[in-house]
Structure 1
Amino acid sequence: MTIRDRLKAAMPQRVTTQVRSSLVWYGERTSDRRPLPDFLITGTKRGGTTSLWRYLLEHPLVPRLFPAWNTKTSHYFEENWGRGEVWYRSHFPTERQRRALEQRHGGPVRVGEAAPLYMFHPLVPQRVADLLPDVRLIFLLRDPVERAYSHWKERRTEDKEPLGFAEALAREEERTAGERERLIADPTYFSEAYDWYTYRARGRYLEHLEPWLERFDPAQMLILPSETLYAEPAATHARVLDFLGLPPQRLATYEAHNHRRSSAMDPEIRAELSAYFAPYNAALSERLRMRFDWS
């Protein structure tokens, strides 16, 4: 637990709420001095986004979101769209803060956020294209079989998934029926089921990437296999810094964040999922002209 986390835990809830409200008010009052972000890490869930985000935050030219406890994302483009652009801008550093960092460290500041649901939500690509047409986009794609199992393990750990893995897979369509359509029909709607229980759907990567590919120049997009990040974190980190136009940096260690150890996946479930995802993976590889060493 970090010092910031310990202070938050020790602080009474009433005080925490008052401090949060004051900082949000201040952020919104100064939003006209807060430029929009330069990059987004948009997915995929359980694909290493937290690890990559933490690596980037080690760079002196990548400031944290504001307020300080918003260390990864505002959830603006999916959950908080109705709050408006002023609220969104309130999360980012001011122009003055950016200039001070640039003068101190001699390079360009790059501000961003990491939100795995951005890639998957049907309305987010157009929202991002409208508000951030020049943004740089980073996608991490993990073996969808392993991603699905890791997603389920996270939900179980958080007490949001009462079902075993096999039953959760079998009931996915039933539990999420109509949710995507409702998200499209009602721009203010947020679906927990669409976020929590989409173990197969989120691994059909190409159907979620196509709206981004249609709206953004390929030069704005960096698509990486998560397995490359896991196996070669320093090299992947260096590639991302170069993509963002940041000076090189090598960290002393590359910790895997949010890693969850558990028993192995049932071989029959693994075989079924591998067969299910095989045609989707092949189409993805052909469309992107990339090789993915997945099951």
Structure 2
Amino acid sequence: MSNKVKARLKKIIRQRLPVNDPNFMVIGSQKCGTSSLHYYLNQHASLVGSDPKEVHFFDRDIHFGKQLSEYRKHFRGRRDRLHFESSPSYIYSPQTASRIYETYPEIKFIVTFRDPVKRAYSAWNHYRQLFEKDKNTFQNRRRREGNLLCDKFFTGRQQFPSFRECIDIELELIEKGEGVEPALLRRGLYLQQLQTYWQFFEPGQLLILGFKDLVSDTEKTLNRVCEFIGVSQMDWSTIDREPRNVRDYTAPMLETDKQYLEAFFAEPNQALFERIGPLNW
């Protein structure tokens, strides 16, 4: 049986399974290991990840009129399993927390944070690769109001802007108070994003992880997740732990850009650590 036939058969079988509500969500942040975390958790016998991994209902689809009944179809499977999705934009999107609360006020969240300087450079590299691979497809995606990413980084360009040029573009938008995207910098202002969720959810409903812990101490970190969501711990050495969405870089970040961003994030990072404690990110 070919892989194509197997995939089609698997899809047919899945469509016959009951729909569910999610029990927890991995909500971000972007470029902080959410793809790997989703893939690891989906190998636990008691957990079922959504199809696709990033549903984007509460920050995108609901904005374009989709209904909860359509959302629940992404969680097909046995009712005695815990179901989850991983949409890394949920932590950043301004209205997402309130929208989730209206439907799932008791739900739990998992958040992964990475050094915001490294996160910004990783995001820039991701957009650069998308531009070089197929800029037209990326530009034609549906976008919510305030998403100026394509307008500022993609449209009318023959070459993707440098990291520093992208930083300067966003700094100008920040000064003008315009747009939610592009957000190489603003996605790294983590405390602001947590405070949005704390307006609706108890702090105990959020498990906050450091990116380096997920990478270097994977088994312990995954068992922290298991304890948090209420499933049995397991021997994670038996699963496929190949990292997901790893991208190559054409060059390291310039030292001048690194120093600038370290200064930019110094105060917000300190405020974050004072509130939640240090993170191994």
TM-score normalized by the length of structure 1: 0.76
1:168 aligns with 2:166: yes
Answering whether residue 243 of structure 2 is matched by residue 285 of structure 1, we say no
In structure 1, C-alpha distance between the alignment counterparts of 2:171 and 2:266, rounded to whole Å:
19
Q: Find the counterpart in structure 1 of residue 141 from structure 2.
A: none
**Structure 2 length-normalised TM:** 0.80
Query: Using a 3 Å threshold, how does the CA distance of structure 1 residues 3 and 169 change in structure 2: closer, same or farther?
Result: farther
Offset at 1:179?
2.4
Name structure 1 gaps, 5 residues minimum.
12-19, 100-108, 181-193
SS at match of 1:222: strand
Q: 1:115 aligns with which of 72, 87, 92?
A: 87
Paired residue for 1:157, among 112, 120, 129?
129
Partner in structure 2 of residue 206 of structure 1? 191
Q: Post-superposition shift, 1:235?
A: 0.9
For the Cα contact (< 8 Å) 1:120–1:208, is it kept in 2?
Answer: yes
Partner of 1:38: 23
Q: Displacement, 1:91?
A: 1.3
Give 3-state SS (helix, strand or coil) of 1:42's partner: strand
Other-structure match for 2:73: 90
Query: How much does 1:209 deviate?
Result: 0.9
Number of residue pairs matched by the alignment: 246
In the aligned structure 2, how far is the partner of 1:77 from the partner of 1:71? Answer: 14
Q: What letter is aligned with 2:91?
A: M
Give the aligned partner of residue 146 of structure 2: none
Structure 1 residue 63 corresponds to structure 2 residue 48: yes
Q: Choose which of 237, 247, 261 in structure 2 pairs with 1:251.
A: 237
Identity in percent? 29
Partner Cα separation in structure 1 for residue 279 and residue 46 of structure 2 = 32
How many angstroms apart in 1 are the aligned matches of 2:97 and 2:161?
32
Match of 1:190 in 2: none
The Cα shift of 1:257 comes to 1.3
Opposite residue 146 of structure 1, the aligned amino acid is K
Q: Deviations over 1:94-148 (max 9, x none)?
A: 5xx224xxxxxxxxx2100000100000000001111111111000010000000
Are the counterparts in 2 of residues 45 and 117 from structure 1 also a CA contact under 8 Å?
Answer: yes
Query: d(CA) in 2 for partners of 1:119 and 1:271?
Result: 26
Structure 1 residue 63, shift from structure 2 partner: 1.9
Q: For 1:1-295, what aligned pairs fall within 5 Å after superposition?
A: 3=3, 34-65=19-50, 70-81=51-62, 82-93=65-76, 97-99=78-80, 109-159=81-131, 160=135, 161=153, 162-174=160-172, 178-180=178-180, 194=181, 197-249=182-234, 250-252=236-238, 253-262=240-249, 263-288=251-276, 290-293=277-280
Secondary structure at 2:26's aligned position in 1? strand
- Structure 1 residue 254 displacement after superposition: 2.2
Q: Whose helix fraction is larger, Structure 1's or Structure 2's?
A: 1
Q: Is the 8 A contact 1:234 1:254 kept in 2?
A: no
Aligned amino acid, residue 43 of structure 2 = E
Runs (4+) of structure 1 exceeding 6 A deviation are none
1:6-57 Cα distance to aligned partner (Å, 9 max, x none) = 977xx9xxxxxxxx9x999x78xx9xx6331000000000000000000001
> Shift in Å at residue 92 of structure 1?
1.2
Q: Which amino acid aligns with 1:55?
A: Y
Q: CA RMSD in A?
A: 2.7
Q: CA deviation at 1:174?
A: 4.3
Partner of 2:142: none
User: Whole-Å Cα distance in 1 between the matches of residues 74 and 95 of structure 2?
Assistant: 21
